[in-house]
Amino acid sequence: MGYKNLSQCLTALESRGELVRISQEVDSNLEIGAIQRRVYQAQGPALLFTNVRGCAFPMAGNIFGTLERARFIFRDTLKTIEHLVKLKVDPVEVLKRPWKFTGMPKALWNVMPRKVSTGPVLARQTNVTSLPQLKSWPQDGGGYITLPQVYTESIEKPGFGRSNLGMYRVQLSGGN
C-alpha cells in the first residue's frame, strides 16, 4: 500500500531517522538549494524546511536522495507502477500475460483522476504562486516548483488513454 499523501511519506521517513526538520528561517532564493546539494552529496537525510522566508508552506527536499530511501518509499508500489507503465506502453500485454496483471483493476481504479465536490482541496481558493518556489542556481530565470505531478490530456481527445503524468521542474510566470 502506498502513501495517501506526502505528509504520510515524510512521517515514515522521520520515524526511520531519515528526515531532518529545519525550523530556522531559510531563503528559497539559493540558500535552500545550496543546503540540499551539500546534504545530497553527503548521502544525507531528507529535509523538511518548516520556516521558508515569505512562504506559508513548508518545503521538502532530498526525499529520493539515496537509492535505499527511494526503495523504501516505493517498497509497496514499485511492482504495480512497473506493470502500469508496461500496460500503458502495450495494452495488449494484459491479454498475452494476464497472470502478471491480477492486481491491475484495483491499481487502475486508485490512479484514475477523480472529480470531487468536497474535501481539503476545495476548502478555499488558492494561488499556485503561494507555493514555495526554489531558485537553486544564480543563473536560474526565477523560482521553480521542483518535481510536482503534472497531468495533461489531449485537447482533441481527452481521457486517460492519451494522457501523461510526469514530474518536472516547473517555472511559474504570472498567476494561475
Share of the chain above pLDDT 70, in %: 95
For residue range 114-159, list pLDDT tens digits in order.
788 887 777 878 778 888 899 999 999 899 988 888 888 889 988 8
Domain total of the chain: 1
Model pLDDT, residue 44: 98
Model pLDDT, residue 137: 94
Q: What is the mean pLDDT of residues 83-106?
A: 79
Share of the chain above pLDDT 90, in %: 44
Model pLDDT, residue 90: 85
Q: Determine the structural domain holding residue 68 and report its residue range.
A: 6-76+113-126
Model pLDDT, residue 84: 78
Model pLDDT, residue 24: 98
> Mean pLDDT in the chain?
87
Q: What is the mean pLDDT of residues 3-9?
A: 91
> Is pLDDT at 73 greater than 80 in this prediction?
yes
Of the ranges 61-70, 84-93, 165-174, the best mean pLDDT one = 61-70
Q: pTM of the entire structure? A: 0.79
Distance (Å, rounded) from C-alpha 70 to C-alpha 64?
5
> Is pLDDT at 1 greater than 70 in this prediction?
no
Task: Tell me if residue 16 falls in helix, strand or coil.
Answer: coil
Residues contacting 17, CB < 8 A, separation 6+: 45
User: Residue 159 domain-assigned?
Assistant: no
Q: How confident is the model at residue 111 (pLDDT cuts 50, 70, 90)?
A: low
Give the CA count within 13 Å in the CB-facing half-sphere of 158: 4
User: Residue 42 domain-assigned?
Assistant: yes
Model pLDDT, residue 176: 59
Distance (Å, rounded) from C-alpha 23 to C-alpha 51?
6
Distance (Å, rounded) from C-alpha 2 to C-alpha 47?
20
| Cβ–Cβ < 8 Å for 22, 36 | no
User: Residue 52 domain-assigned?
Assistant: yes
User: Residue 92 domain-assigned?
Assistant: no
User: Residue 65 domain-assigned?
Assistant: yes
User: Residue 141 domain-assigned?
Assistant: no
User: Residue 122 domain-assigned?
Assistant: yes
Model pLDDT, residue 175: 64
Residues contacting 157, CB < 8 A, separation 6+: none
User: Residue 161 domain-assigned?
Assistant: no
